[in-house]
Amino acid sequence: MNVIQKIEQQIKDNIILIYMKGTPEAPSCGFSAQAVRALSVCGEKFAYVDVLENTDIRNELPKYANWPTFPQLWIDGKLIGGCSIILEMLESGDLKKIILDTVKKYQV
């Protein structure tokens, strides 16, 4: 499996996925920390990939997503955006709505 296939599989396998620097418990940059806090407020589980531990993904994902920075939030296979977009969506209530709607869509 090449790097692009790995990225596509991760996005497909995880309803809510954040590509970040560090881990949710120990973010390695302020932007990742803010994004994780925003996701945590929404109350749903999410997956993460530490791009500092996965240099192949760190190098290829910006080209694949056409988004140059980290963190990157993906929900239901779609790129939502980075830290500032995540925070704006949290503030407006849109982040929680899209997360809850997406989670509900996949509940059986």
Residues annotated in a binding site: 21, 29, 58, 70, 83-84
Distances (CA, A) of 12 to 5, 15, 30, 91: 10, 7, 27, 27
**65 neighbors 72 (Cβ within 8 angstroms):** yes
CA distance 45 to 52: 22
- For the annotated binding site for [2Fe-2S] cluster, the residues are 29
- For the annotated binding site for glutathione, the residues are 21, 58, 70, 83-84
The DSSP result for 75-90, as a single string, is: ETTEEEE-HHHHHHHH
